[in-house]
């Protein structure tokens, strides 16, 4: 299979991940397009030992981080925190749509690092070492974030609020 056909097969997965990061279809499509342009531009210099899937996800992730940083800088300049995440319209009588809404809210409540790892492993089916390479973090951090993300999402779906332990003050012992 040629690299170009492998890249073409990955477009739906890239769109899913980009949509989960950005929450807006048009912005996600723009991010995927930028990712594909960059991938095709770098194709001649690509390390053939690295599989196409993690390579593309790493490009997409890095583009997302760069956009996020740029947006943060502009938000500080303009003093505009940016738009809120839109609510998902649902009919109250449909239990599965309520569960879906709760799942999306649970994902939104996860810290960004945990959400990224959960989506890359759970939705996109990447292996831990591939996620570690994409996010440029140790594999142990991937496993830790994934475990905490699963626990947090499970607690949210079960209706248990995430409670933090009371802080203890440290005493100096002489």
SS3 46: coil
Shared domain for 139 and 154, answered yes or no, is yes
Shared domain for 74 and 99, answered yes or no, is no
Shared domain for 8 and 68, answered yes or no, is yes
pLDDT tens digit string along 29-87?
A: 899 999 999 999 988 888 888 889 999 999 998 898 888 777 766 666 555 444 554 55
pLDDT score for 1? 66
The verdict on residue 81 lying in a domain is yes
Shared domain for 96 and 79, answered yes or no, is no
pTM: 0.55
Shared domain for 40 and 112, answered yes or no, is no
Say which range, 47-56, 93-102, 117-126, 165-174, has the weakest mean pLDDT. 165-174
Asked which of 58, 85, 112 is the last residue of a domain, the reply is 85
pLDDT score for 56? 92
What's 136's domain CATH number?
A: 1.10.10.10
Asked which of 48, 67, 85 is the last residue of a domain, the reply is 85
Shared domain for 98 and 138, answered yes or no, is yes
> d(Cα 142, Cα 133) in Å, to the nearest integer?
10
Shared domain for 42 and 76, answered yes or no, is yes
The verdict on residue 115 lying in a domain is yes
Shared domain for 80 and 95, answered yes or no, is no
36 lies in which domain range? Answer: 1-85
Asked which of 85, 101, 129 is the last residue of a domain, the reply is 85
pLDDT score for 143? 93
**Res. 3: pLDDT tops 50:** yes
Residue among 17, 61, 9, 72 nearest 35 (CA): 61
H helix or E strand, kind and range, residue 47: none
pLDDT tens digit string along 87-100?
A: 555 455 566 667 77
């Amino acid at each position: 299979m040629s690299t170009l056909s492998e890249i073409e097969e990955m477009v739906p997965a890239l769109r899913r991940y980009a949509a989960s990061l950005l929450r807006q279809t048009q912005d996600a499509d723009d991010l995927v397009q930028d990712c594909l342009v960059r991938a095709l531009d770098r194709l001649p210099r690509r390390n053939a030992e690295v599989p196409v899937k993690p390579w593309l996800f790493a490009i997409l992730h890095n583009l997302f981080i760069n956009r996020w940083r740029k947006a943060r800088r502009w938000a500080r300049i303009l003093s505009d925190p940016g738009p809120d995440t839109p609510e998902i319209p649902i009919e109250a009588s449909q239990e599965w749509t309520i569960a879906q809404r709760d799942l999306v809210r649970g994902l939104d409540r996860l810290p960004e690092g945990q959400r990224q790892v959960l989506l890359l492993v759970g939705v996109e089916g990447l292996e831990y070492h591939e996620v570690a390479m994409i996010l440029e973090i140790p594999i142990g951090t991937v496993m830790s974030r994934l475990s905490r993300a699963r626990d947090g999402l499970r607690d949210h779906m079960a209706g248990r609020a995430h409670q933090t332990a009371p802080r203890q003050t440290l005493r100096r012992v002489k």
